[in-house]
Amino acid sequence: MTILPIATIGHPELRIRASEVDPSEIKSPEIQTFIDDLVETMRHANGAGLAATQVLRHQRICAVEVNKNPRYPYKPQVPLTILINPRLTPLDDDMFENNEGCLSVPGFRGNVWRHTSIRVEAYDRNGSKIDEIIRGMTACTYQHEVDHLDGLLFMDKVKDSKTFTTWESFDKFHHHDFVIRVKDLVAKFGS
């Protein structure tokens, strides 16, 4: 497996909208090897997710996994999930003001409003269809990753630029209050 370089903000290709994967190609060695590399790269960088766009492959594939993540210790666990051609549909208007960071935006975090309940339709890495309801913090993580496939970064969606912080300032001044809000969210939705 290969650790792929992760592009950072300012790289023009982070703004490309990724193309749909032909479902008949999901099981090809090329796609399967790429998925292995994407997962390896995400784990190596301690990401909670990674989208193909971030490693400059412009196909609609992303990975999500939270397993005692040191970057986001408050995130509930999420088993390794590969989403191919994901389509997210909000179930209602309930939103959570999430504080986000991104491997493509090193050093910075900011607040983004995310839907708390979404329907996720996608293919998994075996080409089987996924059709699930995802809620809470995990729904926020999914929305962040799928945004990458549309050429969007979390900072595009930060409404209040005063919420931008370095990771150091976040830990020092904002982490405590945010974790209380996350605990309420996770208690409400179980994820």
Among 14, 42, 102, 134, binds Ni ion (CB under 5 A): 102
CB nearer to Ni ion: give 66 or 102. 102
Does 112 interact with Ni ion (rule: CB under 5 A)? Answer: no
From the list 1-9, 23-31, 90-98, 102-110, the region that binds Ni ion by CB under 5 A is 102-110
Q: Output b/e per residue, 13-23; b: 16+ Cβ within 10 A.
A: ebeeebeebee
Question: Annotated catalytic residue: which of 13, 20, 97, 145?
Answer: 145
**In angstroms, what is the minimal distance from the CB of 11 to Ni ion?**
13
CB 166 within 8 A of CB 107: yes
**In angstroms, what is the minimal distance from the CB of 23 to Ni ion?**
25
CB nearer to Ni ion: give 15 or 180. 15
CB nearer to Ni ion: give 27 or 159. 159
User: Nearest residue to Ni ion, using CB?
Assistant: 102
Report, in angstroms and rounded to the nearest whole number, the Rg of the chain calculated over CA atoms. 16
Does 64 interact with Ni ion (rule: CB under 5 A)? Answer: no
Residues in Cβ contact with 68 at an 8 Å cutoff, skipping those fewer than 6 apart: 77
Annotation marks residue 100 as catalytic: no
Q: Which two tokens stand for residue 108?
A: 């910075």
* Coil vs helix vs strand at 61: strand
List, as own/partner pairs, every contact residues 174-180 make where C-beta atoms lie below 8 angstroms and the sequence separation is at least 24, other chains included: 174/99, 178/74, 178/99, 179/74
Q: In whole angstroms, what is the distance from residue 38 CA to residue 121 CA?
A: 20
From the list 8-16, 67-75, 80-88, 96-104, the region that binds Ni ion by CB under 5 A is 96-104
CB nearer to Ni ion: give 115 or 144. 144
Does 4 interact with Ni ion (rule: CB under 5 A)? Answer: no
Q: Which of 163, 167, 170, 165 is nearest to 111 (CA)?
A: 163
Does 134 interact with Ni ion (rule: CB under 5 A)? Answer: no
Q: In whole angstroms, what is the distance from residue 78 CA to residue 47 CA?
A: 12
**In angstroms, what is the minimal distance from the CB of 34 to Ni ion?**
18
Catalog residues that contact Ni ion under the rule CB under 5 A: 102
Name the residues annotated as catalytic: 145
